[in-house]
Structure 1
């Protein structure tokens, strides 16, 4: 049977692991809450959790260690609202990390009907993309070559892309490869 003094100490340790209170503060709290007969017993050593180690590591790096972030935004629908949402997401993420002094790269990958976002003849957002590209060179736009080729066959003409678009062989494969390299993925 566990004594109530030990229960308080165990609860304090569990709470400390979740809120990253230094173990010395928990030990002081436990000593105050533990009756003298229990306090005289040898104390069990508790290994820090991975969360505690993570907090300690982050604190030891300090503010000088700027993080780098990478985000993929997928656009696969010919929907101006979705296209604008993707552009909003990209610019908001860029501003957020800029304010923190951290680097970020954003790749907007368009395929399927979403390729209209990057088509020079049909894009409802090409003016906005031009402005974003001029102000945020860390945002890139990638067009699916497979989709472009299929659209070209269906429309019997070459599909013109905006100058900011870079053609990749496959948009889906590009998203997969970036995720395999550790990029975060968002579909607006």
Structure 2
């Protein structure tokens, strides 16, 4: 059984992002000792929550990165909201299209969660 998982966040909603980050933390704790990948794909207005200079969750994102979580932000959404890659929380990756990233991860067997 694969425990690899992709969390999808697309709304500009601080509470929902906080819930997703807590879900990830709980997931990692529950599966301690198992090998799997954890990814959060962020597209749409939610990319605005990942700015390094104002994101309420920057510290929690950094802590989760240190635990191996990958944060992948949609380049299309970053362009739409005029956010430069350099303005993001360090360590976040930019992918060409968030929705394509989700499809590719699901085809690799990742479970999909949208809090």
Shared fold, TM over 0.5: yes
Q: Structure 2 CA distance, aligned partners of 1:72 and 1:117?
A: 18
Per the alignment, residue 158 of structure 1 pairs with 84
Match of 1:84 among 4, 15, 18: 18
Gaps of 5+ in 1: 1-66
Structure ranking higher in helix proportion: 1
Per the alignment, residue 97 of structure 1 pairs with 31
Asked if the contact 1:68/1:102 (under 8 Å) is kept, the reply is no
Per the alignment, residue 49 of structure 2 pairs with 117
Per the alignment, residue 9 of structure 2 pairs with 75
Gaps of 5+ in 2: none
Q: Which runs of 4+ in 1 moved over 4 A?
A: none
Secondary structure of residue in 1 paired with 2:106: helix
Q: Structure 1 CA distance, aligned partners of 2:78 and 2:27?
A: 28
**Which one has the largest radius of gyration?**
1
Q: Structure 2 CA distance, aligned partners of 1:112 and 1:122?
A: 18
- Do residues 148 (structure 1) and 75 (structure 2) align? no
Displacement, 1:68? Answer: 4.2
Between Structure 1 and Structure 2, how many residues are aligned? 114
| TM-score, normalised relative to structure 1 | 0.57
| TM-score, normalised relative to structure 2 | 0.90
Over the aligned positions, Cα root-mean-square deviation in angstroms equals: 1.6
Asked if the contact 2:6/2:39 (under 8 Å) is kept, the reply is yes
Asked if the contact 1:78/1:116 (under 8 Å) is kept, the reply is yes
